[in-house]
Amino acid sequence: MRIKLILICFIILSVINNFTWSAEESSSKEDQGEEIVITTDGFAILMGVYSPFDEDMKGIYGSSFSLSVQYCLNMGRSIDLLASIGFAHKNGNPFYDDLTFTSDNISTITFFPIEISARKRFIFMKNPTKGLSRGLYIGGGINYIRAREKMNEKQTTNGGDFGTHLFAGPQIFLNDNLAFEGDVKLFFNSIDMKHGSIRYSIMFSGLMIKAGLAWYY
């Protein structure tokens, strides 16, 4: 199943890249005499909210704050490779569905997503004299998510999983180097957790909405 998701992700990116490459090729004559806006390499800090699809994850932990640092490697006029590492942490109640018992937030969970992605930028508005642009980007890639869950003071489980993700969002340059970026991202992961003889799975698949600032140089 994971292999199929990875193949689907890269097929979608290949189709998008071929389509936009032909579109750019056909409009290259119109760009003659006009400066082409190219986003160079840069860093971004993004903050947002992660919301799981799984009902148990929703009941125990709900939505959680997320933070990530991202590096962008420009590969051409509108193609970037991205590498990022993130962090999400939340306290939860594992007995949320038992109305006769109150446990407070005795469990905690921490996620560390590591992602490699490719994105395609579509520039809708540009200023060739200053290099400013506004547009959208779409993309996808693979990820490895490391998780740590502490159910009580004595039991801590750990696990990791490779999966895929798809995303889309805006990119708005505020000056020659600084840009506002945000994205809506879908994760497809199921993490196998273990501690001694204890084994179970966590469905990390969900929606993450992030926004922040990027600096390009």
Q: Is residue 141 a contact partner of residue 165, using CB atoms and an 8 Å limit?
A: yes
What is the pTM (predicted TM-score) of this model? 0.77
Q: Is the pLDDT of residue 40 over 80?
A: yes
Q: How much of the chain, in percent, has pLDDT values that exceed 70?
A: 75
Q: How much of the chain, in percent, has pLDDT values that exceed 90?
A: 50
19-23, 100-104, 135-139, 161-165: segment of lowest average pLDDT: 19-23
Q: Which residues are CB-neighbours of 215 under 8 A, at least 6 positions away?
A: 42, 43, 44, 177, 178, 179
The predicted structure's pLDDT at residue 196: 78
The predicted structure's pLDDT at residue 142: 96
pLDDT-based confidence at residue 128 (cuts at 50, 70, 90): low
